[in-house]
Structure 1
Amino acid sequence: MVLLLLVLAAFLAVAGINGHVVLSEKPNIAASMTSDAGSISNAQLKRLKKLNAQCIMVLGAGIIGTERPTPMLKDRLDTALKLYWAGVSPKILLTGDNGSVHHNELHVMLKYVRKAGVPEADIFCDHAGFSTYDSAARAKQIFRVKRMIVVTQTYHMYRALYDCSENHITALGVGADQQRYSGQLVRDVREVPARLKDFILVQMEEPPKLGGEVIPITGSGVISHGE
């Protein structure tokens, strides 16, 4: 009986934390880019521009081989580019895992955004975005971001915005939901403990895994490219 009560208490705690993260950040999801090219309305664009965001942050989502983004990451990049060309923000912050020579998300993301014609100075790279929490914490600590647009898929957006909020960044989210992605059920399930993990990290005021030299988002991003 005691064990059953403990399990029930743990379940309720996890459910409560997940509910808190989702409900607190749901109002901050300003739009979602779907397969319909006109899915972001003029009213939504107006809300996004009103934030006066310093950058559009694109969270990494894996690569295929060494040179191609996964479909999920490609959709994030395409969404960010549409926002950039629409004048929502003057800078793009790419953040992902550059932990080994065999898995360099930033190389692929930077190449993709360059090919789209974004000026070098407008592209910032965070090579130590090992997790969503680290990406948000480093956006504040390294890039000195105060206001930004976050681009990821909606299922992941609640946690990303929560991490930004707890790192004192005012953020709005735009979902990159152009298709149904393979393995999405697994991602949905994994997101539950991931929100719990980030909630705990926030309470502990855990610093990001890596620090580094300050590269203000208000300057040029060239120095962050690491080439």
Structure 2
Amino acid sequence: MESVKVIMDFMNWPVFLLVLGMTTIVIPLGLNVYVYAVTYADRYREIEQVPPQPIAIVFGAGVWDDGSPTPMLADRVQAAIDLYKLGRVHKILMTGDNFRPDYNEVQAMSSYAEQQGVPLSDILLDRAGLSTYDSCYRAQSLFGIHQAVLITQRYHLPRAVYTGRKMGIQAVGLGTPDWGIFRNDSMTYYTFREFIAVIKALWQVQVTRPQPTVIGPFDGGKSQE
């Protein structure tokens, strides 16, 4: 009888592995589809489609060693500039990483916009936007933003809009191009990372609701010296 049990247990392993594989793939996939679907109607690809909003929120996306914005970041800021010049937004919140003195996403974003005619009086800076969650949390709690258009690449936009809404922002999104613009290997990596990030975002906004890394006002990495 013991040998029969061992054989039956062995025969069940493929079923167990199949169920385990389906669980680890199907559930995360379903959650990603859910976030994509519930934000679909309020995500736009063209600037002319975006309904007027009080403010645009632009998420950081890296700077080069010389302090200039990476192409992804420049595209995001440019979209905000175009919205501003069309009168679709009246202010722009640049939110990104300036946690270290030698790394300043928001200054790169602000300088890029200012060089194209956006007055500093219409630019807000959040130097502690260290993640999508932190940026949305602080936009609502610190800057008092309750309605905005969120600007990022299309692969990232569903999570950004979903997170913004759960943080109390009536959010729509403008997605800048990504696939076909940036290298395929880079986009493959970003897309896979985003797949995982959506699961983390759902856990944060639905379960843990952590405070952001920096809660109150923050004037950049120099304040940490």
For normalisation by structure 1, the TM-score amounts to 0.83
Number of aligned positions between the proteins:
204
Larger radius of gyration: 2
Unmatched runs of 5 consecutive residues or more in structure 1: 33-39, 215-222
8 Å Cα contact 1:66-1:108 kept in structure 2: no
> Counterpart in 2 of 1:211?
215
> Counterpart in 2 of 1:11?
25
Cα distance in 1 between the residues matched to 2:35 and 2:61: 21
Cα distance in 2 between the residues matched to 1:163 and 1:201: 9
Cα drift, residue 167 of structure 1: 0.8
8 Å Cα contact 2:147-2:171 kept in structure 1: yes
Q: Which has the higher contact order (CA 8 A, sep 6+)?
A: 1
8 Å Cα contact 1:149-1:172 kept in structure 2: yes
Unmatched runs of 5 consecutive residues or more in structure 2: 1-12
Moved segments of 4+, more than 6 Å:
none
Cα distance in 2 between the residues matched to 1:7 and 1:102: 44
> Counterpart in 2 of 1:35?
none
Cα drift, residue 151 of structure 1: 0.9
Cα drift, residue 31 of structure 1: 3.0
| Alignment match of 1:190 (pick from 189, 193, 203) | 193
Residue 94 of structure 1: SS of its match in structure 2?
A: strand
Deviations along 1:90-140, one digit per CA (max 9) or x if unpaired, are 100001111212321112111111212212221100111111111111111
Residue 69 of structure 1: SS of its match in structure 2?
A: coil
8 Å Cα contact 1:97-1:103 kept in structure 2: yes
Residue 151 of structure 1: SS of its match in structure 2?
A: strand
In the alignment, structure 1 residue 132 sits paired with structure 2 residue 132: yes
In the alignment, structure 1 residue 62 sits paired with structure 2 residue 62: yes
8 Å Cα contact 2:45-2:176 kept in structure 1: no
Superposition map of 1:1-227 within 5 A:
1=13, 2-32=16-46, 40-41=47-48, 44-45=49-50, 48-49=51-52, 53-177=53-177, 180-182=181-183, 183-203=186-206, 204-213=208-217
Identical residues among aligned pairs (%): 34
Residue 63 of structure 1: SS of its match in structure 2?
A: coil
Higher helix share: 2
Q: Which amino acid aligns with 2:182?
A: Y
Residue 128 of structure 1: SS of its match in structure 2?
A: coil
Give the aligned CA root-mean-square deviation in angstroms.
2.1
Q: Which amino acid aligns with 1:208?
A: P
Cα distance in 2 between the residues matched to 1:130 and 1:3: 38
8 Å Cα contact 1:54-1:146 kept in structure 2: no
